[in-house]
Amino acid sequence: MDDERNVKLVIEYDGTNYHGWQIQKNLDTIQGNLEKAVLSLTGENVKIIGAGRTDSGVHAKGQVANFRISKTLKTIQIVGGLNFYLPDDIVVKSAEFVSSSFHSRYSARKRIYHYHICRERTAIRRYFCWQVYKNFSLKLLNQMAKMLEGNHDFSAFSRLIVNSQHKRCIVFESRWFEREDECVFRIVANRFLHGMVRTIVGTMMDFAYGKHNIENFCDIFYGKNRVKAGSAAPAHGLILEEVIY
C-alpha cells in the first residue's frame, strides 16, 4: 500500500529462553514477540523480516529487522512503545524509516558474529560463553581461521539440508583474539548457513586440543563432508554483533 512506511529496527536480545529468531507454532521466539509487540502498539498484523535467523539460545547485540506499518508514529514512539510491550530480554535499540526497497536480509552486505570461549569457570557470563577448561592453541586456531577467508563452499560446516540454493559464502574476516580470560572468534561474511559458525568453532576446538593435525582440517573443509566435521559448539557462546548495509 502507498501509505505504508518501511521501518528498520536494530534489536538486542538474550536468546537463552527462546527457540531462535524464526516464528514457530506454540514456541516462544524473538520474531513472534516482536510481531505481538507491533500488534499491541499499532493494531496491525505485520510480518517482521530479520537479517539473520539466529538459532535457539543464540544472542544478538545488533540484529536488524524491518516491517511495514500504516499507522502514523514517530520513531521515538516506535522504540518506546515496542520496548513497553516486549519482555526485558528483548530490546529495540533504534528505529528509522527507510526506503520501500530496503530488506533487512537481502540488502545486507556483511554480517558479523562473535563466538566467546571462557577459559575459567564463570557464574555471571555462563549463558554467554562456552566454558572450556582444557588447554588449547590460539596459534593453531588462527591458522585454521585464516583458511576460511575468501569465497568458499561451506558444506562441511552446515546442516546437510539448508534452505538455500548453494552453500558458498564470502568470508571477509576470520580470526581469534584474546580478551582478559576469553578467547573470541570473529567472523565477517556476506551470508551464513544454518549452524555454520557453531560447527566451525566446534571443529576448530577439536583440532586446538591436539586431537588432529591441521592437514586433517583442510581435508574436512575442502572435502565438503559434514559427517567428518566436529559437533556444533554450544549455542549460548554465539552473538550476532552487527549487520552492515
- Fold assignment, 5-98: Alpha-Beta Plaits (3.30.70)
| Locus of grid cell 536480545 | 13
Per-residue pLDDT of the chain (245 residues; tens, 9 = 90+): 558 999 999 999 999 999 999 999 999 999 999 999 999 999 999 999 999 999 999 999 999 999 999 999 999 999 999 999 999 999 999 999 999 999 999 999 999 999 999 999 999 999 999 999 988 989 999 999 999 999 999 999 987 666 667 899 999 999 999 988 899 999 999 999 999 999 999 999 999 887 677 888 989 999 998 888 989 999 999 999 999 99
63-100 exposure pattern, b = at least 16 Cβ within 10 A, e = fewer: bbbbbebeeebeeeebbebbbeebeeebebeebeebee
Can you give the residue ranges of every domain in the chain?
A: 5-98, 110-244
The 3 state secondary structure assigned to the chain is CCCCEEEEEEEEECHHHCCCCCCCCCCCCHHHHHHHHHHHHHCCCCCCEECCCCCCCCEEEEEEEEEEECCCCCHHHHHHHHHHHCCCCEEEEEEEEECCCCCCCCCCCEEEEEEEEECCCCCCCCCCCEECCCCCCHHHHHHHHHHCCEEEECHHHCCCCCCCCCCEEEEEEEEEEEECCEEEEEEEECCCCCCHHHHHHHHHHHHHCCCCCHHHHHHHHHHCCHHHCCCCCCHHHEEEEEEEC
Query: Which pLDDT belongs to residue 60?
Result: 98
Domains 5-98 and 110-244 alike in fold:
yes
Q: Which residues are the active-site residues?
A: 55
Query: Which pLDDT belongs to residue 2?
Result: 59
Query: Which pLDDT belongs to residue 183?
Result: 96
Query: Which pLDDT belongs to residue 160?
Result: 64
Contacts 24+ apart (CB under 8 A), 70-75: 70/1, 70/3, 70/4, 70/5, 70/42, 70/44, 71/42, 71/43, 71/44, 73/41, 73/42, 75/7
Query: Which pLDDT belongs to residue 210?
Result: 75
| Locus of grid cell 572468534 | 185
- Fold assignment, 110-244: Alpha-Beta Plaits (3.30.70)
Query: Which pLDDT belongs to residue 209?
Result: 83
